[in-house]
Amino acid sequence: MFEYIWLVPLFPLIGFLVIFFNFRRLKGVTAGVLASIMVFIPFVISLFFFFGLMNGAEAKTVELFSWISFNKLSIPFSFLIDRLSGLMLLIVTGVGFLIHVYSIGYMKEDAGFNRFFSYMNLFVFFMLLLVLGSNYLILFIGWEGVGLCSYLLIGFWFKNQEFNNAAKKAFIMNRIGDLGFLLALFMLIHQFGTLNFAEIFSKSSAIPVGTFSITMITLLLFAGAVGKSAQIPLFTWLPDAMAGPTPVSALIHAATMVTAGVYMVARSNLLFVLAPVTLMTISVIGIATALMAGSIALFQNDIKKILAYSTVSQLGLMFVALGSGAFTGAMFHLTTHAFFKALLFLAAGSVIHALHGEQDIRKMGGLKDRIPVTFWLFIIGSLAISGIPPFAGFFSKDMILIGAFHSGYVLWVLSVAAALMTAFYMFRLLFIVFWGKAAVAADPKHPVHESPKSMTIPMSVLAVLSIIGGFIGVPALLGGSDRIQVFLAPLFSSSEAFLKHGAEVSESSEILLMTIPLLLILGVIFLAWSFYVKNRNIEQEEPERSFLGNLLYRKFYVDELYDTIVQKPVAGLSTFFHDTIEVKVIDRFVNQTGNLVVWIGKNIRYMQTGNVGAYLFFMVISIILILVLNLFK
C-alpha cells in the first residue's frame, strides 16, 4: 500500500496548479474549500499509512523515477515512508488541514484570497517533499521550497514595504543557513558517494566516533537547521515574520517549516551521534536560544511577537533534546508543540479578528467574557505549553528535561529556567488580554465578536489534541506505556549505543525531576497572576526601565547589531561593486565586445563583392593553399 505514497504530495500540488491557473475564475470561498480538501485527502491517506506502521508494517522506499545518475552518483527521486516520516506526515497534513479550514474564515474579506490558498497548497506540497524524501537532495528541494513559500506568505500583503522587508529577511537568513546545508551535501557526497539515507546510515556504522569529516558534516547540517528553525544567531527573522497573516504564522512558523530543522537532525541521528562535538554545540545553542528568546518574550507587547519568541524558545528546547540524545523527546515535543502552538496562534488570530486588527496587548483586556470560546481555547493552549499535566506539554517537556538531565545537571537547571520563563510570559499574556477591564472602550461600530465556526471548530480540534496529545508518551513511571518512545525506537535505537549517559536515574529521582519543575511552574503562574490580575498595573506608556529591562525589551539589540555588523558593510560592498566594477569595468567590456562583433559583421560583408571572378579567384587561392599545406608537411 505504500506504493501510493506519491499520491500524498500530488494532491496539494494539483491544488496549487488549479488555483494558480484559475485565479480570476474562482469565486467566493471555492479556492479555500478546494485547498482544504487537497490537504484533507493526504491526511486520510497518511492515517492509513500510520495505522499500517503502527501495526508493524515495514518501512519502505518507493522510487518514482531515476532522476540523476551519472558516473557513480545516483540520486533517484524516491520517497521513504517509515515511522518518523509517517508521524511528520500526520502532523503536516492534519494540522495543515485544520489551519486551511480556519483560513477560510480568517481570510474571507481579503482580496488575495485565491492567491493565499494557492501559496498554502504549494507550501504543503514542498513540506511533504521535505518529509518524504528518501535522500538529502529531495529533502533539500522541500527545504528550499518551504523557504520560498514562507517568503511569499510573509510578504503576502506586499503593498506594505515593511512586510516585504520582513519577508526578505526571512528568506535571506534561511539562505545563509542553506549555504551550510549545501556544503554539508557536498561533503556527504564526498564522504559517502551518495545522498540516500539508507546507504549513508548503513555506511556510517563503520565510521569511528569523532572524526573530523563527520563533525564538519553534522555541524554544517546543523547550520542549515539554525537558519530554518530560527536558532541563534539566525533567529531574528521569525519575530519579524509575524507580518504575515496569522494562519501563516500558525502553520509555517509554529507547526511545520520551523520544525524541519528538528526533523532533519532527528532523521540524521546516526550521523550526529558520531560527532559528540556537534551534539554539544546543538545543546549549547539550543539552551542559549531558549533562554534568550524566553527572556525577550517577557517584555514584548505584541501578541504575535510573544508567541513568535515563544516558538523560538520552544525550538531551542527541542534542540536541547536533540543535543542530549533524546531524539524521541524532541520529536514528541515537536508534535505537541505543533498542536498547542498552532492553537495559540489561531486563538491569537481570533483575538485580533475580534478586535478588528489590534495586536498590542496593552490595548486589550477583559475579553474573557466577550469572547468566551476563544478564551477557553487560549487557556488550554497556555496550560499545555506551560507543562501542566495532564495537558500535552507536560509529558513532552518532561521527556526533554529528563534527557537534559542525562546530559548534565547544568543543562537541566537551565532548561527548567526556560520552562519557567515560558509559563510566565504565557500567563502574563493570558492575564493581560483576558482579565481586568478593557483598556480601550468598545467601539459601537466595530463590536467585539466571537469568531465564526469555521475558525472555532479547527481550534477546538487542536485544543482537544493539546489535551490528549500527551498520552502517547506517558512514561512508565506514571503507569503509561511510553508509546511514542516505543514507536520511534527502530529509528533511534542504534544511536543509543553511542550516547554516554550518566548513571541510571532511580525512580525516586525521576519523580523529583518531574515534580520540582511542576511546582516551580505553578509558583511562577501565581507570580504572574499577582502581577497582572491582583495588582493589575499595565503601563500604557513606555516606562522607565532598568538597564536589564531595557536590554530585554529591545530584544538584546540583536537586530541593531546585525544591521551594523552585517547589513551596512554588505550594502557598502554591494554599492562599490556596482558603481565601480559593474559599470566601469564589466559593462564596458561587454558593450565593447558587442560593438566589435557588429563592426566585424558590417565589414566582413564586403568580402562578397558580387563579382563571380573574385569568388572563383578566392576559391583557387584557397585550393592552392590547402594543397600546398597538406602535401608539403
Partner 1 sequence: MKAIIALSILAVLNMFFGVRKMKKVLLPLIFIGLIITMILNISDWGKSVHYFNEMFIADNFSIAFSSVLILIGILIFMFANIYYKGVERPLEDIYALILFAIIGGIVMASFGNLILFFVGLETLSISFYVLAGSKKFDIASNEAAMKYFLTGSFATGFLLFGIALVYGVSGSFNLEAINTYILGCNGNVPMIFIAGMLLIFIGMSFKIAAVPFHFWSPDVYTGSPTLITAFMTTAGKVASIAAFYRLITIAFISLHSELTTTLTVIAVLTIIVGNLSAVYQDNLKRMFAYSGVAQSGYLLMALIVLGPKSAGILLFFVLSYVIATITAFAVLMLIREERGTFFIPAFRGLAKNNPVEAFAMAIAMMSLAGIPPLAGFMAKYNLFVLTAEGGYTWLVVVAVIGSMISIYFYFKPILASYFSEGEPQHKIESSVNFKINILVLSILMILLGFLPQVIINLL
Partner 2 sequence: MPNLQIIPLDYYIIFCSALFAIGVVGVLVKRNALVIFMSIELMLNSANLLLAAFSAYRNDPAGQIFVFFIMVVAAAEVAIGLALLVMIYRSTHTIDINVLNKLKW
Whole-number Å distance between alpha carbons of 231 and 188:
23
Taking the least distance from each CB to partner 2, the nearer of 500 and 602 is 602
CA nearest to 412, candidates 509, 527, 308 = 509
Which cell goes with 202? 548503513
Which cell goes with 321? 533534546
Within 13 Å of residue 387, how many CA atoms lie on the same side as its CB? 31
Which cell goes with 531? 502581577
Q: Considering only 56-64, 71-79, 572-580, 621-629, which stretch makes contact with partner 1 by CB under 8 A? A: 621-629
Using CB atoms within 10 Å of the CB of residue 161, give its burial: 0 to 12 exposed, 13 to 18 middle, 19+ buried: exposed
Q: 159 in helix, strand or coil?
A: coil
Taking the least distance from each CB to partner 2, the nearer of 547 and 606 is 606
Q: Considering only 317-325, 334-342, 347-355, 606-614, which stretch makes contact with partner 1 by CB under 8 A? A: 606-614
Using the rule CB under 8 A, is 622 a contact of partner 1? yes
What string marks each residue from 560 to 599 as x (binds partner 1 by CB under 8 A) or -?
-------------------------------------xx-
Taking the least distance from each CB to partner 2, the nearer of 606 and 632 is 606
Using the rule CB under 8 A, is 626 a contact of partner 1? yes
Taking the least distance from each CB to partner 2, the nearer of 357 and 613 is 613
Taking the least distance from each CB to partner 1, the nearer of 72 and 605 is 605
Using the rule CB under 8 A, is 493 a contact of partner 1? no
**One of 111, 206, 441, 612 touching partner 1 (CB under 8 A):** 612
In the complex, the smallest distance separating the C-beta of residue 614 from partner 2, rounded to whole angstroms, is 10
Contact in structure between 90 and 47 (CB atoms under 8 Å):
yes
Long-range contacts of 193-197 (CB under 8 A, 24+ apart): 193/72, 193/73, 194/73, 194/74, 194/75, 194/135, 195/75, 195/135, 195/136, 195/137, 196/75, 196/76, 196/134, 196/135, 197/80, 197/134, 197/135, 197/136, 197/267
In the complex, the smallest distance separating the C-beta of residue 74 from partner 1, rounded to whole angstroms, is 19
Interaction residues for partner 2, span 586-625 (CB under 8 A): 605-606, 608-613, 616-617, 620
Using the rule CB under 8 A, is 571 a contact of partner 2? no
Out of partner 1, partner 2, none, what residue 626 binds, judged by CB under 5 to 8 A for its kind, is partner 1
Using the rule CB under 8 A, is 632 a contact of partner 2? no
Within 13 Å of residue 625, how many CA atoms lie on the same side as its CB? 6
Residues 6+ apart with CB under 8 A from 180: 219, 220, 221, 222, 223, 224, 226, 227
Using the rule CB under 8 A, is 444 a contact of partner 1? no
Which cell goes with 114? 485565491
Taking the least distance from each CB to partner 2, the nearer of 73 and 623 is 623
Out of partner 2, partner 1, none, what residue 73 binds, judged by CB under 5 to 8 A for its kind, is none
Out of partner 2, partner 1, none, what residue 622 binds, judged by CB under 5 to 8 A for its kind, is partner 1
Dihedral in degrees, nearest 10, Cα atoms 548, 549, 552, 558: -60
Contact footprint for partner 2 (CB under 8 A): 605-606, 608-613, 616-617, 620
